[in-house]
Amino acid sequence: MGSKTISSAVIKRLPRYYRYLGDLLENGIERISSKELSIRMKVTASQIRQDLNNFGGFGQQGYGYQVRYLHDEIGKILGLDAKQSMIIIGAGNLGTALAKYDFSHIGFRVAGIFDVRADVIGTEIGGIRVSSFDTVEVFLKEHDVQVAVLTIPRSNAHEAAERLVKAGIGAIWNFAPIDLQLDSNIVVKNVHLDESLMTLSYNNMHKGQERLSYSSYMDG
């Protein structure tokens, strides 16, 4: 596929393509030209062609894209067909919300929820019993888990992340407001809600002083 040289900007755009193509499928649209897709997505047709050419290209000149095929291929590129499992570390408000969220449409399921608080351990969230974080290493030996979701206070986040990595976790979806300093082979994706709200606040305060760039659609 030649995916070795793909820029992170392209990668960030793939989930949005996937979402738009999923919408088209829902609406029964089977074929779309890059021009039509570009109008819907508000990016240039040339950008779409360039992005998709990174993966070998999926269109036939003059015939447009087969929506189902393109959707499924991008899904495969994103690893969404792999049936991945994640564990949630921290059964607080955000951890609970994520545990109850249905990620199955992008191929993820929650395999376990862990916390350190005695009053939380043993309770059920979305049909899953919260386990003691002390048992996470054993759990990871017995289960195939791709992603750990960190929804714990920042004071514990680093130590927890290091334990998870030592126990074999290779990817962390980090909601704690901290930059984790981990081995370079560990994939970390941050969702820093405070910082997102601060950026919104800035843009709202300074409204009109600059045109908002289209890239604001691309984050998160």
Site for a second copy in 41-100 (CB under 8 A): 42, 77-80, 82, 84, 93-94, 96-98, 100
The nearest distance, CB 95 to a second copy, in angstroms, is 8
The nearest distance, CB 46 to a second copy, in angstroms, is 20
Residue from 65, 108, 114, 133 in contact with a second copy (CB under 8 A): 108
State which of positions 142-181 bind a second copy (CB under 8 A).
146-147, 170-171, 173, 177, 179
User: How far, in Å, CA of 68 to CA of 50, rounded?
Assistant: 20
What does the DSSP 8-state code read for residue 60? Answer: B
Stretch near a second copy under the rule CB under 8 A, chosen from 50-58, 65-73, 111-119, 183-191: 183-191
Sign of the dihedral defined by the CA atoms of residues 154, 156, 159, 165, in that order = negative
When the beta carbons of 15 and 25 are compared against a second copy, the nearer one is 15
The nearest distance, CB 159 to a second copy, in angstroms, is 16
The nearest distance, CB 62 to a second copy, in angstroms, is 28
User: How far, in Å, CA of 217 to CA of 199, rounded?
Assistant: 13
When the beta carbons of 136 and 176 are compared against a second copy, the nearer one is 176
Under the binding rule (CB under 8 A), the answer on residue 216 touching a second copy is yes
State which of positions 111-130 bind a second copy (CB under 8 A).
none
13 CB contacts (<8 Å, ≥6 apart)? 43, 51, 218
Residue from 28, 62, 127, 208 in contact with a second copy (CB under 8 A): 208
The nearest distance, CB 141 to a second copy, in angstroms, is 19
End-to-end CA distance of the chain: 26
Sign of the dihedral defined by the CA atoms of residues 124, 126, 127, 132, in that order = negative
Under the binding rule (CB under 8 A), the answer on residue 190 touching a second copy is yes
Percent helix, strand and coil across the chain, each rounded to 5? 45, 20, 35
Q: What's the angle, vertex CA 119, arms to CA 113 and CA 120, rounded to 5? A: 15
Phi and psi based region of residue 144 (left: phi greater than 0; alpha: psi -120 to 50; beta: remaining): beta
- Tell which residue, 149, 209, 210, 153, has the closest CA to residue 177: 153
Stretch near a second copy under the rule CB under 8 A, chosen from 62-70, 110-118, 128-136, 195-203: 195-203
When the beta carbons of 141 and 211 are compared against a second copy, the nearer one is 211
